[in-house]
Amino acid sequence: MKQYRIALFLMALVFFSCEFDESSYRYNLGADFIDDPTRVIMIDTMTVNTYTTLSDSIVTSRGSKLLAGRFENKIGIATYCESYFRFDPYEYYELHETAVFDSACFILYPDDYSFGDTTKTLALAIHELTEQISVDEESEYIFNHTRFDYETNPLATFNYRVEEEDVIDNENDADSIVIRLSDDYGKRFFDMVVNEDTLLDDKDDFNQIFKGYVIKPANNEDAFVAAFNAVADSVYAPKIRVYYHDFTPNDDLYFDYVLENFEAYTGGDYSLGGLYANSYLSTYIENDYSSSAFGGIEPGEGKLPSSETNNLTIIQGGVGLKTRIEIPGIDELYWLGVGSVVQAVLYFEPLKGTYEEESDLPTGFEMYLVDSKNRSYGQMYNIEQSSPAVAVLDYDKEFKDKTHYSFDLTHFFRDEYMSKGDSKYSLQMTYPQARIGHRVDQLIMGSQDHPENQMYLKLYLTNY
Amino acid sequence: MKYSTRNIPALLTILIVFPLLLSGQNNTSSPYSKFGIGDLASIGYGRNLALGGTGLALRDPYHINLKNPASLTAIDSMNFLFETGVNIMNTNSSSVDYEENYWDGNLTHIALAHRYSQHVMASYGVMPYSNIGYRLRTMKSLEGEDSFVLTDWVGSGGINKIFYSLGFKFSDKFSLGTEFGYYYGPLIERRKTWAMVQTENPTLYYSNSRYHGVSVKGAFQYNTPLGEKGSQLLLGGYFTPGQKIWGESDVLIRQQYGTTIIDTVYLSQEKAKSIYVPISFGAGLGVTLNGKYLLTADYEMAFWDAVNSDKAYLNQSVYSLGFEVMPQNDLNYFKRCAYRLGFHYDSGYIQTKGYRIDDFRVSAGIGLPVMKSASMLNLTLEAGQRGTISSGLIRERYIKMTVAFSFQDFWFVPRRLN
């Protein structure tokens, strides 16, 4: 029946008319005659209490740098570093019978890392250890407070200046620092090879005699902390090089005792290198707070309020200075009504005068949840949960005073805001854990009450 | 009663499919559908629309006139009537600084009508009562910072009405009618709110309010011949008491962080804010001259203000006027067609910024008979304007075409046995 066809045609037209449906937003169109009850509020007046805390100990072994030097910062804290290391026995081979010892020297390769006033000259000394380097029995680590005894008189001293060209910037062009050893001392390394000494067959025996070395500042001057490459098995690892000649046509000859490449027993197998390579390489790092406002700092559970330290707080690697952040007012945000945290960002500024250029400012600070005794309950991740949250440095080349860091605390705020109970955790900002034991970078920043470099929290909330 | 049951499954299918069709449609794109329960759908079909929306004093044996259930008694005893229609609408929206053009489409109604007895006639069907389809962006200041907060609004849904009407014929001149309605449908609003400095972390709001409620309407119609030559005077009217429609709301608020992480911060199921379909009445007058010309006028009033506490509601007046050159029983096809004109003014039931969002339109239509039956294809073209561009508001100018099909069949013809 034709009439039914017409009805069907109309039905089809209904679906066709869907095609006219325009999906774009009709933006701006008379947009101001309705009101969204959702409010967005920015608050930057929340109280942020900061404290400086100090770790009990920091693991400094298994690094890949030798740190040595001394630096006094602008607020009177002096950082001192000395590093311990030892060599493997030379893999013995027969020298020509006519071989004659010429000389021996330490060879070090500068690392691109340094901390402090690198315009100065650093006097360094190398001493022979009189005590075996040993690891903590339980953890098999060596910590920043651990020192080993050494001979009073240095084997060698040398002055070191950081110059751009000293840095290993490419494998074929590494400037080395060569420090001549006394012939008496150096010849022992030659003789062991010539005499086919059994010490060279056994690493433990060798290390009983040659316990290792310390590289340390030669005096108490304020300079900087230098770093030397100490990657085990690298051609740039520290070494003792013995030069000799044997009257053969090509007789400008040498052999090396190189940095220990520790062989660790790892569950059924001895493995060379990797994580354990530098198990016996460590750094003693100590801060002297006596001429600063931070004299009252106590390691572990202690927390030193910024109000007692000229409204400053400090984060430093090596020794484990951390900034504890307490935000007491989170629960009070409920007085504003039901809502949610959109974003919470902490802004802080490095103390004016403590940096000259961008590279003076460390990056990558991490945030941990801690209890009242500074015990960590885990790292704060970014809100997407994809990676740990880190501080972001916004360095202003043109207006240096505008330089600041920001740290996104949204994740923490959201959790605290949504949890009904009293706040259980505080925050602790630290130097990145991955390199905390091998660098001594520091950031001195102002607290919320600092007159110039003020810390503040910027919080965006919605309310509905 | 004895009539063919062959159409029953088809009818049931249509009644079930209709709401699905409605939900798949963009019935309106008007920002004004943000207010109240949305844009009120036109009542009345092909013929009524072309007559400016009049119908209180219309009697028609071949069209279902739902403006007035008392008019059902005009349907011939053997007739089965089925009507449906679609419309497409082009709207040009403009505010002071912005202009936009868009299309919408809609299924207007599905209705059936037939007679139970000599004196009782029935009609039933489904149609939209209100339509919602807005997309807006608003802006306000961020508290505590010199910046702005943006909100995107998306509204959808609307209220449908299933009705069952009865007409009672007391005499050739006087009929009464009643309509029972069941309202149902969702009002859905989605919002996305974000600060301009925080585009990555918007707050998302979703509310779905499913309403339902019942209504009843009483109506009458009176007609008396004027003179001898087929001229007639018609009077009609209706009254509807206020009806509360109620429902449940699901409210979901989410905070988004970046592109993927979303926190549900608020979830509730609560009673939706009650809406009152207002007390309303209407009265209409119609005159046919020599069975050839029809002139009809309606006035309707709805007391939204009295029943709803929201300040946005106003009492609504609707004036409509229609003129028709009625189809003639003639061999000439063009004389068998109906030609219609209409005018319609609706004061609107909402105000914003002190302005009534009123609507006036003119309409023109033609009724085309199909084959040699009494079925008719009704084409209606309406052009109108709603709102104002004052105070940052929007003026909508639209052209709407409705195609409605009135299908007439004989249900009660006894089958002849060969």
Q: What pLDDT shows up at residue A266?
A: 63
Q: What pLDDT shows up at residue B275?
A: 83
Q: Domain residues for A394?
A: 41-55+299-463
pLDDT in tens, B288-337: 998 889 999 999 999 988 766 677 788 999 999 999 999 888 888 898 89
Query: Does A268 share its domain with A307?
Result: no
CB atoms within 10 A of CB B120: 13
CA distances in angstroms from B359 to A109, B122, B277, B319, B402, listed in the order given: 86, 32, 20, 11, 18
Query: Does A150 share its domain with A271?
Result: yes
Query: Does A182 share its domain with A280?
Result: yes
DSSP code at position B313: B
Q: Which pair of structure tokens corresponds to residue B403?
A: 């195609």
Boundary (domain end) residue, out of A285, A311, A343: A285
Query: Does A449 share its domain with A375?
Result: yes
**Residue-range domain boundaries for chain B:** 8-117+126-148+228-241+279-410
**Interface check A2 vs B, CB under 8 A:** yes
Taking 70 as the threshold, does the pLDDT of residue A362 lie above it? Answer: yes
Closest in A22, A33, A342 to B201, CB measured: A342
Show Cβ contacts of residue B83 under 8 Å, excluding neighbours closer than 6 positions: B45, B46, B63, B64, B109, B110, B111, B112, B125, B404, B405, B406, B407
Query: Does A256 share its domain with A313?
Result: no
Q: Is residue A26 part of a domain?
A: no
- The CATH number of whichever domain residue A392 belongs to comes to 2.60.40
Return d(Cα B180, Cα B240) in angstroms, integer: 10
Chain A to chain B Cβ contacts (< 8 Å): 189
Inter-chain contact B106–A410, Cβ cutoff 8 Å? no
Inter-chain contact A460–B201, Cβ cutoff 8 Å? yes
Q: Is residue A36 part of a domain?
A: no
Chain B nearest-CA distance from A389, in A, is: 14
Boundary (domain end) residue, out of A285, A319, A349: A285
pLDDT in tens, A170-208: 444 457 899 999 999 999 999 999 888 888 888 889 999
What ipTM, to 2 d.p.? 0.73
Closest in A3, A28, A41 to B407, CB measured: A3
pLDDT in tens, B160-210: 999 999 999 999 899 999 999 999 999 999 888 989 888 888 898 999 999
**Interface check A27 vs B, CB under 8 A:** yes
Q: What pLDDT shows up at residue B415?
A: 54
**Interface check A25 vs B, CB under 8 A:** yes
Which range of A335-344, A373-382, B224-233, B258-267 scores highest in mean pLDDT? It is: A373-382
pLDDT more than 70, % of chain A: 88
Query: Does A230 share its domain with A314?
Result: no
Return d(Cα B406, Cα A357) in angstroms, integer: 84
Average pLDDT over residues A330-335: 82
Place of tokens 């063009």: B334
Q: What pLDDT shows up at residue A19?
A: 39
Range from A109-113, A280-284, A316-320, B78-82 carrying the lowest mean pLDDT: B78-82
- How many domains is chain A built from? 2
Return d(Cα B84, Cα B112) in angstroms, integer: 9
Query: Does A445 share its domain with A382?
Result: yes
Q: Is residue A290 part of a domain?
A: no
Check if the beta carbon of residue B126 is closer than 8 Å to that of residue B19: yes
Inter-chain contact A342–B255, Cβ cutoff 8 Å? yes
Closest in B106, B149, B261 to A384, CB measured: B261
The residue in chain B having the minimum alpha-carbon distance to the alpha carbon of residue A17 is B105
pLDDT in tens, B15-54: 555 555 554 456 788 888 888 888 888 877 778 999 999 9
> What pTM was computed for the model?
0.80
A76: exposed, middle or buried (C-beta count within 10 Å: 0-12, 13-18, 19+)?
middle
Inter-chain contact A29–B97, Cβ cutoff 8 Å? no
pLDDT in tens, B98-109: 788 888 887 888
Check if the beta carbon of residue B106 is closer than 8 Å to that of residue B127: no
Query: Does A303 share its domain with A408?
Result: yes
Inter-chain contact A343–B201, Cβ cutoff 8 Å? yes
- In the chain, the amino acid numbered A346 is L
Inter-chain contact A3–B29, Cβ cutoff 8 Å? no
pLDDT in tens, B375-399: 889 999 999 999 888 777 888 999 9
Q: Is residue A447 part of a domain?
A: yes
Query: Does A266 share its domain with A365?
Result: no
SS (H, E, C) B39-61: EECCCCCHHHHHCCCCCCCCCCC
Query: Does A277 share its domain with A356?
Result: no
Inter-chain contact A29–B195, Cβ cutoff 8 Å? no
Q: Is residue A184 part of a domain?
A: yes
User: Can you give the length of chain B in residues?
Assistant: 418
Q: Is residue A49 part of a domain?
A: yes
**Interface check A44 vs B, CB under 8 A:** yes
Q: What pLDDT shows up at residue A16?
A: 43
Boundary (domain end) residue, out of A226, A256, A285: A285
CB atoms within 10 A of CB B271: 10
